[in-house]
C-alpha cells in the first residue's frame, strides 16, 4: 500500500508592522545620538513613521518617541551578537527602490516592502576606539560597521528618492525643509547629502584600511597606495596671493596633541593662508625647547628666537634679533602670556600671537589691537611617527617628518679646542633653530638668543654674510650653526673674522679637512652632528 505524499507548505512570513502603510517612513540607526531625539520628534510631527535598530530604538523610546524595531519590520531578530540587524531585503529594498521604475514598484508590492524616504545613519566609533592606548585588534574589529555603511551607500546611491543624513548638524535644516516643502526634501538637498554620505564612508574605510595595514603589514611605511582623508575646517579669503583661492583642512587621522589644526582663535581678524603657515612654523619652534622660549616668524622664517628664565625676557631678546623684520610678524610663546609680555609687545604691529594660555589682564591689553589674531593651543605632546607630504606637479613626495632631537652623545668635537659649557648650550639652541630656517641656513646665537639669521640663499657663504650683516657687533662671542656641511673653508674664515666663538655643523663634505684646519688655525672649536636639517 502506497503512502500518500504530504506536500510541505513554505512557512509564511508574518510581519508585525506597527506602522501605517500610507505614512512616509524614516529609518534612524546612529552611533552618534546628538540631536537625534529632537529630529525624531520633528519627523513624527510631520507624519513620519520611524524604524530603528537596537540601541537607537532604545534611546528614542527613553526620549518619548514611538518607534518600530527593524526586527519587527523584517521578522528577523538581531543576531550574531548584533553583527546582523539591518541586512535584509525589506530594509535595503525600501531604500534602493527606484520609485519611477514599474519593475521596482511591482517587486515592492509583491514582497510587501515599504519605501524608505529618509535614512539617518552614522557609523560605529572606529577611530575613537583605535585611538585608545590599550585598544586590541579584537576590539577594533568589532567596531568595523557593516550594516551602517551598506545603508548609507544604498541611500546615497538612490538620492533620486532618498535623503541620507550622516551629520547630526543637518537635522534642523532637514526638518525646516520638510516643513516648508510638504514633507519632502528637494533633489538639490538629496544630492548634497549623498555626496556627504559617500565622503563619510570613504573616510571611515580609509581609517580601517590604514589601521589594518599597520596591524597586518608590519607595517610598511610607504605602502603601494596611500589614501588621504582630510576634512575642511574653513574657507580662507585667499591663498598665498589674492588671486589664489584657498581653504584650511584637517587630517582626519591626526592624533598629535597641540597641532596647529586644533588651535582656537580668541580674537582678531579671520586667519589667512600665510598666517596659518607661519603660525605652524612658529609653534613648532617654541615647542622644540623646554625653557621659556619665544619665536618671531616672518615669511615662514624666524627673524627672532630666544630662551630665557622668564617669557618676557625671552621676548625682548628675540625682538632684538631683527626689529625691522619683526614688524608684521607672528609671535609664538611656550608659556602663559602675562601682562608684562603684553606690555613689552606694546604698539608693535604683529599679525598673530599663539600661546598655551593668557592671563586676563594680558588678554584685555592684546584685544585692544582689533585686528590681532589671538590664538590659544595646548603645548604639543609626544611626537608619534608622522609622514611629511610635499605636493609636486601630478603627485607627492612623502618622507619622515624631521622630528629628531639632537643628543649630547651624538655630537663630535673635530677640532683641537673643545667648546665650553656655555658655548655648548648656545650651539644646541642654534642647531634647534636652524631646523626651521629655509636652506641654506646660517644662525648666530649668543647667550640663548638668535642675533643673526641668514636664510634661503643659493650659496652658503651668502647666508653667512646675511647673518653677519643682521647681527652687526653682536657676532663677537656668538656661536654659529649651519644646517648642512661647509663646502669650503670660506665660511669658517668669515666666522673667525667677525668674532664667532664656536661652530656646529653636520660635517660630511669632501673638504671637511679644510674646514677643520681653518677652525684650528683660528682657535675656534667646531662640532659635527652627523645629521643635516635641509628645509626646502
Q: Which of residues 122 and 324 earns the better pLDDT score?
A: 324
**Most confident by average pLDDT, 21-35, 152-166, 206-220, 314-328:** 314-328
**Most confident by average pLDDT, 36-45, 57-66, 515-524:** 515-524
pLDDT for 93 beyond 90: no
216 grid coordinates? 597586518
Please list the alpha-helical segments (H only) found in 239-359.
273-288, 311-321, 323-326, 339-345
160 is catalytic: no
pLDDT of residue 16: 43
List all residues 6 or more positions away from 344 whose beta carbon is below 8 Å from its beta carbon.
Answer: 312, 315, 316
Distance of CA 423 to the CA centre of its chain: 38
Whether 162 contacts 116, CB under 8 Å: yes
pTM score: 0.74
Q: Based on the number of CB atoms within 10 Å of its own CB, is 199 exposed (0-12), middle (13-18) or buried (19 or more)? A: middle
Distance of CA 54 to the CA centre of its chain: 34
- Residue 177 neighbours by CB distance under 10 Å: 15
Cα–Cα distance, 133 to 141 (Å, whole number) = 16
Give whole-number Cα distances, 248 to 34, 273, 516, in Å.
26, 8, 47
Sign of the dihedral through C-alpha 434, 438, 442, 446: negative
445 grid coordinates? 646665537
pLDDT of residue 57: 86
Cα–Cα distance, 513 to 508 (Å, whole number) = 10
Cα–Cα distance, 513 to 505 (Å, whole number) = 13
> Domains of the chain (ranges plus CATH)?
25-216 (3.40.50.1380), 261-376 (3.40.140.20), 406-528 (3.40.140.20)
pLDDT for 171 beyond 80: yes
Intra-chain end-to-end CA distance of the chain, in Å: 97
To which residue does cell 529609518 refer?
27
pLDDT of residue 317: 97
DSSP characters for 364-416?
HHHTTSTT-EEEE-PPP-PPPP-EEEEEETTEEEEEE-S-PPPPGGG-EE-SS
**Most confident by average pLDDT, 93-107, 155-169, 506-520:** 506-520
DSSP characters for 153-198?
HHHHHTTTT-EEE--GGGHHHHHHHHHHTTT---HHHHHHHHHHHH
Cα–Cα distance, 230 to 227 (Å, whole number) = 10
- Residue 231 neighbours by CB distance under 10 Å: 11
Chain segment 352-374, per-residue pLDDT in tens: 999 999 999 999 999 999 899 99
256 is catalytic: no
Angle 281-283-287 (CA atoms, 0-180°, nearest 5)?
A: 120
Share of the chain above pLDDT 70, in %: 90
To which residue does cell 642675533 refer?
451
CA nearest 378: which of 274, 466, 287?
287
Q: Which of 88, 104, 157, 256 is catalytic?
A: 157
pLDDT for 339 beyond 60: yes
What is the β-pairing status of strands 329-333 and 293-298?
Answer: antiparallel
- Residue 427 neighbours by CB distance under 10 Å: 26
pLDDT of residue 536: 83
pLDDT for 207 beyond 80: no
Chain segment 440-475, per-residue pLDDT in tens: 999 999 999 999 999 989 999 999 999 999 999 999
Q: Which of 104, 299, 316, 522 is catalytic?
A: 299
pLDDT of residue 1: 47
515 grid coordinates? 674646514
Chain segment 282-298, per-residue pLDDT in tens: 999 999 999 999 999 99
Whether 433 contacts 443, CB under 8 Å: yes
Whether 348 contacts 335, CB under 8 Å: no
Stretch 294-314: mean pLDDT, rounded? 96
**Most confident by average pLDDT, 76-90, 118-132, 153-167, 514-528:** 514-528
pLDDT of residue 384: 57
Kindly tell me the number of DSSP H helices and DSSP E strands found in the chain. 19, 21
Chain segment 42-81, per-residue pLDDT in tens: 999 898 988 888 788 888 989 988 888 776 776 766 767 6
Give whole-number Cα distances, 418 to 253, 390, 529, in Å.
46, 39, 14
Amino acid at each position: 500500500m502506497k503512502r500518500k505524499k504530504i506536500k510541505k507548505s513554505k512557512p509564511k512570513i508574518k510581519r508585525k508592522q506597527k506602522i501605517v502603510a500610507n505614512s512616509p517612513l524614516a529609518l534612524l540607526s546612529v552611533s552618534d545620538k546628538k540631536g537625534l531625539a529632537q529630529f525624531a520628534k520633528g519627523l513624527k510631527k510631520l507624519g513620519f513613521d520611524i524604524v530603528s535598530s537596537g540601541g537607537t530604538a532604545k534611546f528614542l523610546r527613553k526620549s518619548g518617541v514611538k518607534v518600530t524595531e527593524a526586527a519587527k519590520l523584517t521578522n528577523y531578530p538581531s543576531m550574531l551578537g548584533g553583527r546582523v540587524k539591518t541586512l535584509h531585503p525589506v530594509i535595503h529594498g525600501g531604500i534602493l527602490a527606484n520609485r519611477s521604475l514599474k519593475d521596482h514598484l511591482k517587486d515592492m508590492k509583491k514582497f510587501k516592502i515599504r519605501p524608505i524616504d529618509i535614512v539617518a545613519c552614522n557609523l560605529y566609533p572606529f577611530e575613537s576606539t583605535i585611538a585608545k592606548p590599550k585598544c586590541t585588534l579584537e576590539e577594533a574589529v568589532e567596531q568595523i560597521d557593516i550594516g551602517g555603511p551598506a545603508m548609507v551607500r544604498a541611500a546615497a546611491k538612490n538620492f533620486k528618492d532618498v535623503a541620507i543624513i550622516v551629520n547630526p548638524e543637518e537635522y534642523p535644516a532637514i526638518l525646516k525643509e520638510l516643513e516648508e516643502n510638504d514633507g519632502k526634501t528637494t533633489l538639490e538637498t538629496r544630492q548634497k547629502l549623498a555626496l556627504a554620505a559617500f565622503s563619510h564612508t570613504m573616510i571611515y574605510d580609509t581609517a580601517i584600511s590604514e589601521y589594518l595595514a599597520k596591524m597586518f603589514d608590519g607595517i610598511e611605511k610607504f605602502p603601494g597606495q596611500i589614501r588621504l582623508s582630510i576634512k575642511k575646517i574653513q574657507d580662507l579669503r585667499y591663498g598665498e596671493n589674492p588671486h589664489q583661492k584657498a581653504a584650511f583642512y584637517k587630517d582626519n587621522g591626526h592624533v598629535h596633541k597641540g597641532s596647529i589644526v586644533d588651535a582656537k582663535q580668541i580674537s582678531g581678524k579671520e586667519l589667512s593662508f600665510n598666517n596659518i603657515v607661519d603660525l605652524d612654523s612658529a609653534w613648532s619652534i617654541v615647542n622644540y625647547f623646554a625653557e621659556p622660549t619665544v619665536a618671531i616668524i616672518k615669511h615662514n622664517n624666524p627673524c627672532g628666537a630666544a630662551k630665557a628664565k622668564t617669557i618676557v625676557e625671552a621676548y625682548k631678546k628675540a625682538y632684538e634679533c631683527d626689529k625691522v623684520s619683526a614688524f608684521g610678524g607672528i609671535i609664538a610663546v611656550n608659556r602663559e602670556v602675562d601682562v608684562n609680555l603684553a606690555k613689552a609687545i606694546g604698539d608693535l604691529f604683529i599679525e598673530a600671537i599663539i600661546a598655551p594660555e593668557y592671563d586676563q589682564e594680558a588678554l584685555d591689553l592684546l584685544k585692544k589691537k582689533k585686528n590681532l589674531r589671538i590664538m590659544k593651543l595646548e603645548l604639543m605632546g609626544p611626537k608619534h611617527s608622522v609622514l611629511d607630504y610635499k605636493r609636486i606637479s601630478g603627485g607627492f613626495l612623502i618622507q619622515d617628518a624631521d622630528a629628531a632631537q639632537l643628543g649630547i652623545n651624538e655630537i663630535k668635537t673635530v677640532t683641537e679646542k673643545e667648546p665650553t659649557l656655555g658655548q655648548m648650550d648656545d650651539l644646541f639652541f642654534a642647531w634647534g633653530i636652524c631646523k626651521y630656517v629655509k636652506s641654506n641656513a646660517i644662525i648666530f646665537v649668543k647667550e640663548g638668543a638668535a642675533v643673526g639669521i641668514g636664510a634661503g640663499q643659493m650659496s652658503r657663504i651668502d647666508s653667512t654674510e646675511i647673518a653677519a650683516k643682521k647681527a652687526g657687533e653682536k657676532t663677537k662671542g656668538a656661536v654659529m650653526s649651519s644646517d648642512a656641511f661647509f663646502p669650503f673653508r670660506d665660511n669658517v674664515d668669515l666666522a673667525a673674522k667677525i668674532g664667532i666663538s664656536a661652530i656646529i655643523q653636520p660635517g660630511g663634505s669632501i673638504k671637511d679637512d679644510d674646514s677643520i684646519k681653518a677652525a684650528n688655525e683660528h682657535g675656534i672649536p667646531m662640532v659635527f652632528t652627523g645629521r643635516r636639517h635641509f628645509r626646502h
